[in-house]
With several copies, the nearest count.
Chain A
Amino acid sequence: MTDPQTLRAVEAVLFAAAEPLTPDSIRAHVGELDVRGALAALVGHYEGRGIRLVERGGRWHFETAPDLAHLLRRDREEVRRLSRAGIETLAIIAYHEPVTRAEIEAIRGVQTAKGTLDVLMEAGWVRPAGRREVPGRPLMFATTPEFLSHFALKSRRDLPGIEDLRAAGLLDPVDLAFEQLAVEKTDEDD
């Protein structure tokens, strides 16, 4: 049972924060208390209310309940619409990260317009993530914690259908998948 003072403290800090917080950064404000216990208790407490406490990529924040969206949407700017190229590129990065531009293009079958990655980075959803140690040392891209919070994902494991896609080999490069199939074929022939 979490001490009510701890609960209050964690609740206040999360409420006041302008962005999602990790348990460590919460602890930096409230001191050495049972932050994880308090988070769990608060999640339960807000169950079914107009606001809820959620974890996104290890960081916690309060947000409004999704079923109330219709009450809140009015006089708010529409979230910027991504182009189809933008959506596909974002999905490829999220499901394959870290991934190079050439790998993105191999999947999409077209060159990536310069602006496409810029838009995703400007939105704060994608970041450069080091270089692949192959000739040319191409830059790799990965998603950010903001990506997880924006799309209500607890972690990348929460990406819709990612386990099924992985199991079906659809996240493997074509070459690898082809070799896999060739091996299975040989086995059957034996």
Chain B
Amino acid sequence: MDAPPEQLTLDLDGWEGPLDLLLSLARAQKVDLREISILALVEQYLRYVERARVLQLELAADYLVMAAWLAYLKSALLLPRDPQVEPDPEELALRLQLRLERLDAMREAGARLMARDRLGRDVFARGAPEGLRTVRTGPYEANLYDLIAAYGRISARSRPVMHVVQDREVMTLEAAIARVSALVGSAIDWRAIETFLPDMASAGLRRSALASSFLAALELARQGRVELWQEEAFAPLYLRAPAA
């Protein structure tokens, strides 16, 4: 039996992917899917894709992937069977047939489902039901903890809010510039930036002083009043007075 592929319009939007197209081609053969010749089907698919290419229709990638796979399957089916070759082409063909049968079964099932007496289309529920109501009655429950926690919540909420920002010891940029420029003086040796920091300081103040001193060093370097040297990123930073 020879189903002319010319009957198929080349409407790519009509199919949902290669498997859908294969199933449509198979159905056009009008035989039980279990009896279908996979080889004939493969040839139809390849002819279809070839035609689409001749007409310069853009084919989605998955159609081409399927075409390549089917071309491989076709050659494997036509060549004398080599038992060493895995997977067995007969097996591949059978798997393809099983997939087509399953998709076909679901398509059929979907059509039968849609044809049933559907609520709101073929049969109708009562248009204006009175409705059923469930009225809840019964004792209320709350415990003492809920009660006092609620009061705590309200008290906390209604208490006047005052935000206090604690004083932090900081070194200002101005102070750092004064300190670094004074200390660097006319030193000709490289000195690490840490040696410019005040000794006493708390950890917080040292961090502030380091940040300010670094900015001070950059500023002084820009003004040509200090030279900077660092071997690599994150390496110690050295300062000295510019060579006269």
Contacts and interface: CB of A to CB of B under 8 A. Distances in A.
A173 B118 CA distance: 30
Interface string B92-108: 00110011011101111
Looking at chain B, what size class is its interface with the partner chain?
35 or more
A18 B150 contact: no
Contacts of A1: none
Interface in A170-186: 170-174, 176-179, 181-183, 185-186
Interface residues of A, number: 69
A65 interface: yes
B142 to A, nearest CB: 5
A29 B127 CA distance: 15
A40 interface: no
A43 interface: no
A15 interface: yes
Given A91-B147, A150-B119, A181 B94 contact: yes
Contacts of B162: 182, 185-186
Given A80-B136, A109-B17, A171-B155, A63 B161 contact: no
A151 B121 CA distance: 10
A62 B133 contact: no
A178 B98 contact: yes
Given A15-B129, A165-B151, A159 B113 contact: yes
A76 B134 contact: yes
B109 to A, nearest CB: 4
B56 interface: no
A74 interface: yes
A114 to B, nearest CB: 15
Given A84-B16, A110-B19, A95 B106 contact: yes
Given A119-B140, A160-B113, A91 B98 contact: no
Contact of B109 (A91, A109, A177, A181): A91
In the A-B complex, the 10 residue pairs with the smallest Cβ-Cβ separation, listed nearest first, are A109-B19, A170-B152, A110-B17, A91-B110, A123-B140, A16-B124, A91-B151, A160-B112, A87-B110, A66-B117
Given A94-B109, A185-B164, 16 more contacts: A15-B129, A17-B132, A72-B131, A72-B132, A78-B121, A79-B121, A80-B140, A82-B140, A82-B142, A88-B107, A91-B150, A94-B113, A123-B139, A159-B148, A160-B113, A161-B109
Interface of A: 12-13, 15-19, 29, 61-66, 69, 72-82, 84-88, 90-92, 94-95, 107-110, 119, 122-123, 125, 149-153, 159-162, 165, 168, 170-174, 176-179, 181-183, 185-186
